[in-house]
């Protein structure tokens, strides 16, 4: 069964550093999403992406965040200057029609 | 404020029991998702609903748009069903809102 692949599975970074989280969505999917889940809290929507542009973003998705689909297969989330409170599990998802698939997540730890 | 409320927060059941998890939402929606999150953290999409009822194996999901309510039912529950079940809705402007999840433990 097709999968959404996320790399790395775990990343540790120093506060203030930039990180890029990578996702490979399912090839025929058209919509792409990033979510985060702070430990012990609920999943939160960050951004959705369609037709090479952001279609919706939440209040969390401020100027320190950006997304890109650089080569037609990867879908990346960049956090420019990480803060301690950015520590969370970040999930990528992709969809087409009613088919919706999550990746297994990247655990980001900011120290 | 919570756009999506789930109940119960925690649920323990004996193997074989019929389980119901409820979700109420306060925003207008275009779709509602039921998700399953395993202890390792991975999330699986179980259902996407915009009306009526869907069934997949032992899982049944229903939605009542007028009452802004959805239920997830598990028939003949099994220990491998133990997970957190999350209700999520796609609201106005395609924003997604998530419930806090229902932690289900099925005891053999």
Question: What's the average model confidence in pLDDT over B64-88?
Answer: 96
Q: Which residues of chain A have pLDDT under 70?
A: none
Residues facing A108 on adjacent strands? A11, A88
pLDDT in tens, B14-32: 999 999 999 999 988 889 9
Mean confidence (pLDDT) of chain B: 93
CA gap B6, B21 in Å, rounded: 7
Backbone angles phi, psi at B35, to 5 degrees: -120, 155
Interface of A with B (CB under 8 A): 33, 35, 37, 41-45, 48, 55-56, 58, 89, 91, 93, 98, 100-102, 104-105, 107
Give the pLDDT confidence of A3-21 residue by residue, as tens digits. Answer: 899 999 999 999 999 999 9
A10 vs A2: CA distance, rounded Å: 22
CB atoms A102 and B95 under 8 Å: no
Q: Which residue has the higher pLDDT, B1 or A61?
A: A61
What per-residue confidence (pLDDT) applies to B39? 82
Percentage of chain B beyond pLDDT 90 is 80
Q: Which residue of A has its CA nearest to B42?
A: A104
pLDDT on residue B42: 86
Confidence band (pLDDT; 50, 70, 90) for B37? very high
Q: What pLDDT score was predicted for residue B91?
A: 81
The DSSP annotation for A20-51 comes to: EEEEE--TT--EEEEEEE-TTS-EEEEEEEET
Residue B94: count of CB within 10 angstroms of its CB: 16
pLDDT at B30: 86
pLDDT at position A99: 79
Interface with B, mutate which of A33, A42, A97, A104 (most B CBs under 10 A): A42
Q: What per-residue confidence (pLDDT) applies to B1?
A: 67
Q: How far apart are CA A43 and CA B96, in angstroms?
A: 10
Closest CA to A2 of A30, A33, A29, A22: A29
Q: State mean pLDDT over B29-55.
A: 91
**Residue A86's pLDDT is what?**
97
- What pLDDT does B58 receive? 97
% of residues, chain A, pLDDT over 90: 82
Overall average pLDDT of the B5-12 stretch: 97
Average pLDDT over residues B51-69: 96
| Contact residues for A50 (Cβ-Cβ < 8 A; gap 6+) | A30, A31, A32
Nearest-by-Cβ selection for A98 from B44, B48, B95: B48
Q: Where are the alpha helices (DSSP H) in chain B?
A: none
Choose between B10 and A2: higher pLDDT: B10
CA A111 to chain centre: 20
Cβ atoms of B5 and B102 closer than 8 Å:
no
Evaluate if residue B65 carries a pLDDT over 90. Answer: yes
- Residue bearing tokens 């951004």: A47
Higher pLDDT, B3 or B60: B60
């Amino acid at each position: 069964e097709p999968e959404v692949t996320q790399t790395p599975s775990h990343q540790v970074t120093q506060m203030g550093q930039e990180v890029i989280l990578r996702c490979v969505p399912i090839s025929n999917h058209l919509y792409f999403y990033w979510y985060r889940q702070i430990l012990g809290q609920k999943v939160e929507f960050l951004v959705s992406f369609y037709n090479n542009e952001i279609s919706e973003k939440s209040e969390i998705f401020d100027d320190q965040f950006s997304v890109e689909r650089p080569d037609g297969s990867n879908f990346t989330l960049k956090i420019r200057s990480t803060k301690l409170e950015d520590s969370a599990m970040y999930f990528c998802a992709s969809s087409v029609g009613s088919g919706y698939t999550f990746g297994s997540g990247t655990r980001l730890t900011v120290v | 404020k919570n756009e999506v409320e789930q109940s119960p927060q925690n649920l323990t059941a004996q193997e074989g029991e019929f389980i119901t998890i409820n979700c109420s939402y306060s925003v207008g929606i275009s779709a509602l998702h039921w998700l399953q999150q395993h202890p390792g953290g991975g999330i699986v999409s179980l259902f996407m609903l915009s009306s009526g009822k869907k069934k997949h194996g032992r899982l049944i999901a229903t939605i009542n748009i007028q009452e802004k309510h959805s239920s997830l039912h598990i028939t003949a529950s099994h220990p491998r069903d133990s997970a957190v079940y999350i209700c999520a809705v796609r609201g106005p402007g395609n924003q997604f809102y998530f419930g806090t999840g229902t932690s289900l433990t099925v005891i053999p």
